[in-house]
Amino acid sequence: MNLSVREKGAVLNLPLQQPGAIYIDGAFVPPTEKRGEVVINPATEEAIGEVAVGGVRDADAAIAAAREAFDAGPWPRMSARERIACLQKMYDVLEARADEICELIVLEAGSVQSNAKARQFDIPMKHFRRFLELGVREDVKALAPELTLGAGSVTVLGTAFVVRAPVGVVAAITPYNYPYFLNLVKVIPALVTGNAVVLKPSPYTPFEGLVLAGAAAQAGLPKGVLNVITGGLEVGERLTSDVRVDMVTFTGSDQVGAAIAAQSAPTLKRLVMELGGKSALIVRSDASLKMALSQALRGFTSHAGQGCAMNTRVLVHNSIRRDFVDQLATMARSVKVGDPRAADTEMGPLIRAAARERVERYVALGLESGARLMAGGRRPPHLTKGFYYEPTFFDDVDGRSAIAQDEIFGPVGVVIGFDTDDEAVAIANDSRFGLRGGIVSADVGRAFEMARAIRTGGVTLNGGAGTQLSDGPFGGVKRSGYGRELGEDGLNEFTQTQLIEIQAG
């Protein structure tokens, strides 16, 4: 099922969709209020289609469908291999539409082509495959038996079985920056482990959520196992507060995460929160400048800075800082900003006007704080349409200032100098966030010791593994959230253990 829309006269196919519909209980259905909203391309400000908008009654229907699928349906009662066979069909449907999905990622999220293919499609599909591999495991584990002297001097042989079971109904709420990626890494492990899911994608990028609905329908997943409901704040609040929902997995800002925690508290839901970040890249005096500069530039220009794990604070040893800053400024000015559909574009737009206005407010705060603007700081004058902003970074930044402490979520980086390793670690830890970080150094052993001292969910040394490892648990500490995604740790978040004890005799 394709929804075709027009942009500049060209027909665009949005794969696996049905016009004017949301996905509840195994079927595409119109929302109860029959509302629709135009979804726009952030690069052109033109429409790419109209999406149906769900409301509270639709959220109730989606929750009810998921509840029935979990409580009475076949999905949680299937063997792991049976579920994985169904999900493999869903994977195959998505893989067959790879080109169309990547085009959709470019149009809807404003991702440049290279980012859309390599990071927003290929990597989550790799994670999908790994979850299917990990899902083939025993749900029951026997504990070692123990002998206990009981009544009448009778020796009792006792043991127990640990059963790993699905949590129940999972609400997955995802943001606009990496929508296809985040939809997959929440929905698939939840389904692999036998849960039923209600997915609420961002109103800015709903089509990348409905893609999964279409794939689930084609793959023949049982009805109610996956539901995709669009909508705004009221839909999210119903998902996070309804007693029929057992777990919420959310990626987004720390402020919204705190609101979700409050909304879910009365029903004591399990929560996995992947929230904001203000990650620090430490560049020691012995670092490879080429490597460090490449990482620093990527830390605030990749996907226009719209990534929670990006290293937007660059801590540079003062002995090399002047040369580093000069070279980084030259590189930032040379980044080609423009239409993400062009093969040579290196940075696309922000998602909406409000996101760009937020960036502009923080640039003004940076200037007011006395920081030195080294590159950018304006809208590209040659781009009159689209929500573009130039790659921007500041030097001479006060580590306690707003631009050094707040998550801007745009193409803005800061450089802060340091003189000792201990000072660098202290600056890195001087943040209410703790999601990621990095260190560039010729002394990898020393970098490892420093990484152990940084309070963050993950640290890359000299660029890390070159990809996001499917077995690497991803998540944060402090206001960057709690719980982990990916790998066996991520799979286990969607399960709970039951102890069944037995006495031989």
Q: With contact defined as beta carbons under 8 Å apart, do 447 and 248 qualify? A: no
Q: Cα separation of 23 and 183, whole Å?
A: 15
Region class of 157: left (phi > 0), else alpha (psi between -120 and 50), else beta = beta
First and final C-alpha spacing in the chain: 60
Quickly list H helices, 308-374: 318-334, 353-368
**What region, left, alpha or beta, does residue 435 occupy, with left being phi > 0 and alpha being psi -120 to 50 degrees?**
alpha
Burial (CB count within 10 angstroms: exposed 0-12, middle 13-18, buried 19+), residue 261: middle
Backbone angles phi, psi at 351, to 5 degrees: -70, -40
Active site residue 274: yes
Q: How far apart are CA 35 and CA 267, in angstroms?
A: 30
- 8 A C-beta contact, residue 276 and residue 309: no
Contact between residue 401 and residue 416 where contact means Cβ atoms under 8 Å apart = no
Catalytic residue among 274, 346, 390, 493: 274
Query: Phi then psi for 442, rounded to 5 degrees?
Result: -70, -25
Beta-carbon-side half-sphere exposure of residue 258 (alpha carbons within 13 Å): 7
Sorted by sequence, the CB contacts under 8 Å of residue 118 that are 6+ apart come out as: none
Query: Rounded to whole angstroms, how far apart are CA atoms 286 and 362?
Result: 32
Cβ(328)–Cβ(281) under 8 Å? no
Residues in the chain: 505
Amino acid occupying residue 98: A
**To 10 degrees, the CA torsion angle through 20, 119, 166, 207?**
0
Q: Which residues are catalytic?
A: 274
